[in-house]
Amino acid sequence: MSAISPSPTVENSTRSATSRSVLMCRPDFFTVSYRINPWMHPEEPTDTSLAVRQWEVLYRTYVDLGFDVRLIDPIEGLPDMVYAANGGFIIDNIAYGASFTYPERQPEGPAYMDWFRDNGFEVRHPANINEGEGDFLLVGGVILAGTGFRSTSNSHRELAQVYGREVVSLELVNPDFYHLDTAIAVLDDTNIAYLESAFNGKGLARLRGLFPDAIIATEEDAAVLGLNSFSDGYNVVIASRATDFERQLRERGYNPIGVDLSELLLGGGGVKCCTLELRR
């Protein structure tokens, strides 16, 4: 790129940001009252007002990046609804609805599908158990799809039919990284970051073949859900405690922006979990 007019806040010579449209849900009713992943300890206290304050920093960060941020009303009694990524998966204005694994979260599926319909998306009711963008990640033209703990491999086949795109199934093997978005961060249309130990040999071979230049995350960063991040192609919103990931992103020409969602980590979620991308 020439020296003419690179704007340092939006892009550098190798990366460029594309403004995103995302759906979020304020954690007004957030708490940990059941245990469906190893991060959750219902016997320990949570601070809902702190969760809201931390979430508001994330919300503000997206607004300041120029994102179009939409909100779905939280529902009392659905404490995990803040993790909007699980509410569905959207490409080309088509919303493939979620069908949750555990009964505690099942009412969220129809609530999100209602929002999609009311907001002009074409809704596809799922025939198979799946937890939306928690397990499905679009990288360029390919959909990476996780299974092993939540979304079923049948949902991967359904996904391929709905969108007519290639779906790469990846089996997750560590219960701490039970959703694909806890083990892989999508950085842009061609690259990702991931945690090697979250996958079996077959999945690792697939990832190495597809993304030879991927960032390999440390166990320490993954353990604060550092990979659970959201990128616009240049700015990457990450857990502020994921310091090595931050360094690696900087080295590669990305602009990491740290936020602290410690309270939402008690439910087993981070930045990406709170973010559902709306692709029209």
List residues binding ligand ARG (CB under 6 A).
36-37, 40, 80, 83, 85-86, 105, 134, 179, 181-182, 267-269, 273
Q: Give the nearest distance from C-beta 13 to ligand ARG in angstroms.
A: 33
Tell me, what amino acid is at 159?
L
278: CB partners within 8 A, 6+ apart:
21, 22, 23, 68, 70, 90, 121
Distance separating alpha carbons of residues 214 and 197, to the nearest angstrom:
15
Token pair recorded at residue 141: 């033209």
Cβ-based nearer residue to ligand ARG, 256 or 267: 267
Closest CA to 151 of 208, 224, 89: 89
Q: Tell the burial category of 149 from Cβ atoms under 10 Å away from its Cβ (0-12, 13-18, 19+).
A: buried
Give me the least distance between CB of 246 and ligand ARG, in Å please. 20
Closest CA to 124 of 165, 84, 166, 162: 162
CB nearer to ligand ARG: give 258 or 269: 269
Instruction: Indicate the SS3 state at residue 85.
Output: helix
Residue 68 pairs with which residues in a beta bridge?
21
CB nearer to ligand ARG: pick between 83 and 211:
83
Q: Which amino acid would we find at residue 226?
A: G
25 is catalytic: no
As measured in angstroms, the least distance from the Cβ of 143 to ligand ARG is: 15
Quick check: is 41 catalytic?
Answer: no
- The one catalytic residue in 25, 156, 273, 274 is 273
Cβ closer to ligand ARG: 15 or 144?
144
Residue 24 phi/psi, 5-degree rounding, is: -135, 165
Minimum CB separation of residue 150 from ligand ARG in Å reads 7
Q: Of the two residues 134 and 258, which places its CB atom closer to ligand ARG in the complex?
A: 134
Closest CA to 170 of 192, 193, 151, 190: 151
State which H helix or E strand residue 59 sits in. Answer: helix 48-64
End-to-end CA distance of the chain: 30
Task: Report in angstroms how near the CB of residue 105 gets to ligand ARG at its nearest.
Answer: 6
When the beta carbons of 27 and 134 are compared against ligand ARG, the nearer one is 134
Question: Cβ of residue 179: shortest distance to ligand ARG, in angstroms?
Answer: 4
CA distance 182 to 187: 14
Q: Which of 25, 41, 125, 179 is catalytic?
A: 179
- Residues assigned a catalytic role: 179, 273
